[in-house]
A = this chain, B = another copy of it.
Amino acid sequence: MPDANRQIVLDQIPQGKLGPEHFKLVETARPEAAEGEVLVRTRYISLDAANRAWMQGATYRSALTSGQVMAGGALSEVVTSHDPSLKPGDLVWGDTGWQDYATAPAKRLTKLPAMEPVTHLLSVYGVAGLTAYFGLLECGKPKAGETVVVSAAAGSVGSLVGQIAKIKGCRVVGIAGGEEKGRWLVDELGFDAAADYKAGNLRAQLKENAPGGIDVYFDNVGGDIFETCLFAMNNFGRIACCGALSQYDGAPPAHGPRGVPGLIVTKRLTLRGFVMYDFDDRRDEALKDLQTWVAEGKLKVQEDILDGLENTPAALIGLLAGENRGKRMVKV
Contacts and interface: CB of A to CB of B under 8 A. Distances in A.
B274 A271 contact: no
Interface stretch (A91-99, A162-170, A240-248): A240-248
Q: How many copies does the complex hold?
A: 2
B270 A262 contact: no
A244 to B, nearest CB: 5
Contacts of A252: 258, 262
Contacts of A262: 53, 222, 244, 247, 252-253
Contact of A275 (B254, B256, B268): B268
A51 B196 CA distance: 39
Given A267-B273, A275-B268, A261 B59 contact: no
Nearest to A254: B258
A264 interface: yes
Given A256-B260, A257-B255, A258-B255, A274 B265 contact: yes
Contacts of A259: 256
A270 B268 contact: no
A168 to B, nearest CB: 21
A268 B271 CA distance: 10
A274 B271 CA distance: 12
Contacts of A278: 268
Contacts of A266: 58-60, 273
Interface in A206-259: 219, 222, 226-227, 235, 239, 241-244, 247, 252-259
A269 interface: yes
Contacts of A253: 258, 262
A272 interface: yes
Which residue, A239, A254, A259, A262, has most C-beta atoms of chain B within 10 A? A262
Interface in A269-297: 269-275, 278
Contacts of A272: 264, 268-271
A269 B261 contact: no
A222 B257 CA distance: 13
B260 A268 contact: no
A260 B258 contact: no
Which residue, A243, A258, A261, A272, has most C-beta atoms of chain B within 10 A? A261
A265 B261 contact: no
Contacts of A263: 273
Interface of A: 53, 58-60, 219, 222, 226-227, 235, 239, 241-244, 247, 252-275, 278
17 contacts: A58-B266, A219-B261, A227-B256, A242-B265, A247-B262, A253-B262, A255-B258, A256-B256, A256-B260, A260-B260, A261-B273, A264-B271, A265-B274, A268-B272, A268-B275, A270-B270, A271-B272
